[in-house]
Structure 1
Amino acid sequence: MSTTTSAAPARTGARQEPESAKRRDILDGARRVFFDKGFDGASMDEVAKTASVSKATIYVYFSSKEELFEALVLSERSKSAERLFEVDGTSDDVAGLLRQIGISFLTMMVEPDHIRLVRMVMGVAEKFPRVGQAFFEAGPCQGGRRLADLLRQQAELGRLQMQDELKAAHLFFNLCHDKTVKGLLFGCNAPPTAEQIAQTVDEAVRVFLAAYGR
């Protein structure tokens, strides 16, 4: 479903170039507009102006504002995932490994732009469920699977013991979440300091290892 009133021109082969410089320019422009105006307030005209391209060029790559926003969501989540899992999964310091992932995760979750993105996705998910599903799959689901792989490595090395690595992975992320992220989403809390993030993650690691450590 398109959120624009004008018909989108037919897309060409350029639509099949996900890493093209032009597509990156459009996503960069879309990021600035969506984060500034929100989903409903953003327009394809303004994205075109910000990205220094024509609106017709945007439609070569994206058929609608919904599709453009979905691509932005996937791009943001992909970058976050790469940053989160820049670790040595075979490290013999399990607590240190979990602490590194936890601090990276919580630091990312409380960033103002991430809070804005989550609010936008929640705001459009009922009208455009595909966007919500894409965010959930590329974020919590993918993050849980990647952490589960690391936990499975540690279990095979005899450092952890668990029956369901995926369930344990989501439990760890939830422990790191604490109430901090919810407070920010509802505008109740100020962003935590680095020291507060470390304290929250250290407690999450302690509880997690009490349940699954060997």
Structure 2
Amino acid sequence: MAKELNATSPSELELTAKARTVLKAARKIFLTHGFNGATTDMIQREAGVSKSTVYAHFSTKETLFLAVIKSECEIFTASIHNISFEPGNLTENLRHLAYAYLEVALSESAVALYREVVAQAPRFPALGHMFYNSGPLVVKNKVAKYLEDAVTSGELDFKGLEIDEATGAFVALMRSELQLMHLTHPDKPITKTSIDRWIEIAIDFLVRSYGTHNTKNA
């Protein structure tokens, strides 16, 4: 049965120094042992604080786990926020964005977090919702803005396809096979050659399908 969970958790910037110490320790414990294997005693010892200090900032283990997820998502999405769209250079724009995104999405910490969220979401649906809204949706909205700018500059024409639909298809093509391989083959690291190849496949598919005569295939 799904458990009710308050999905409101403070941003790391809003936390006190002591709370950030607890959060840092919790991140290490949760990503190493998983939510079920982690205990507040383990987090307390790792942080070097009393149990009362942990509970003063985070009332339950679930609340602390939510805070870790939100903090990680903020770190993950920060890498793409400052990437700007330059009209007339669509393929290079998308390549830059794709590398920044996959560098984060395929990192060990991101994959570990993804596994935990998927494992716990059936019991805590709000946790899954917060992860999606704080991470994948932020990335999707950034890519959507890129594609919208490309339509405005005349480099793409989706011919009736909604921007949201085109964005979902592009992000899925760029990420899905690499992420699936990383999740199911932890003993086989994803190579840069594989990342390069999938990024080019995704960009080529988008440009061939919806590019205009104004699109540069750099």
Normalised-by-shorter TM-score class:
0.7 to 0.9
Q: Which amino acid aligns with 1:210?
A: R
Query: Which whole-Å CA distance do the structure 1 matches of 2:109 and 2:46 have between them?
Result: 18
Structure 1, gaps ≥5 residues long: 4-13
What does residue 11 of structure 1 align with?
none
Q: Which residue of 1 aligns with 2:195?
A: 197
Distance of 1:54 and 1:87 partners within structure 2 = 42
Asked whether the 8 Å contact 2:178–2:195 carries over to 1, the reply is: no
Equivalence map 1:63-212=2 (5 Å): 63-162=59-158, 163-187=161-185, 190-212=188-210
The match for 1:30 among 20, 26, 33 is 26
One-letter identity of the residue aligned with 2:200: D
Matching residue of 1:6: none
Question: Cα distance 1:91–1:51, how it changes in 2: closer, same or farther (>3 A)?
Answer: farther
Change (3 A) 1:189 1:17: closer
Q: Quickly say closer, same or farther: Cα 1:181–1:139, change in 2 above 3 A.
A: same
Q: What does the per-residue CA deviation read over 1:54-102, in whole Å, with 9 as the maximum and x for residues that have no partner?
A: 2212222212111111111111111111113331223431101111111
> How much does 1:42 deviate?
0.6
Higher relative contact order (CA 8 A, sep 6+): 2
Amino acid at match of 2:169: L
- Match of 1:179, SS state, is helix
How far, CA to CA, are the matches of 2:116 and 2:49 in structure 1? 24
| Counterpart-to-counterpart distance in 2, 1:118 and 1:178 | 13
Aligned residue pairs, count: 204
Matched, 1:51 2:47: yes
Separation in structure 2 between the aligned mates of residue 2 and residue 136 of structure 1, nearest angstrom = 17
Q: Which moved more, 1:28-37 or 1:153-162?
A: 153-162
Say which SS state the counterpart of residue 135 (structure 2) adopts.
Answer: helix
2: CA distance, partners of 1:41 / 1:193: 31
- Identity between Structure 1 and Structure 2 (%): 26
Aligned in 2, Cα 1:17/1:78: closer, same or farther, shift over 3 Å?
Answer: closer
Q: Which moved more, 1:177-186 or 1:202-211?
A: 177-186
What letter matches 1:204 in structure 2? A
TM-score, normalised with respect to structure 1: 0.86
Q: Secondary structure at the match of 2:116?
A: helix
CA-CA distance at 1:15 after TM superposition? 11
Which deviates the most, 147-156 or 194-203?
Answer: 147-156
Query: Counterparts of 2:184 and 2:199 in 1: how far apart (Å)?
Result: 21
Q: Residues 119 and 17 (structure 1 numbering): CA distance in 2 closer, same or farther, change over 3 Å? A: closer
Q: Distance in 2 between matches of 1:142 and 1:15?
A: 15
Report the CA distance between 1:204 and its aligned residue.
0.7
Structure 1 segments, 4+ long, off by >4 Å, are: 14-17
Q: Shift in Å at residue 186 of structure 1?
A: 2.2
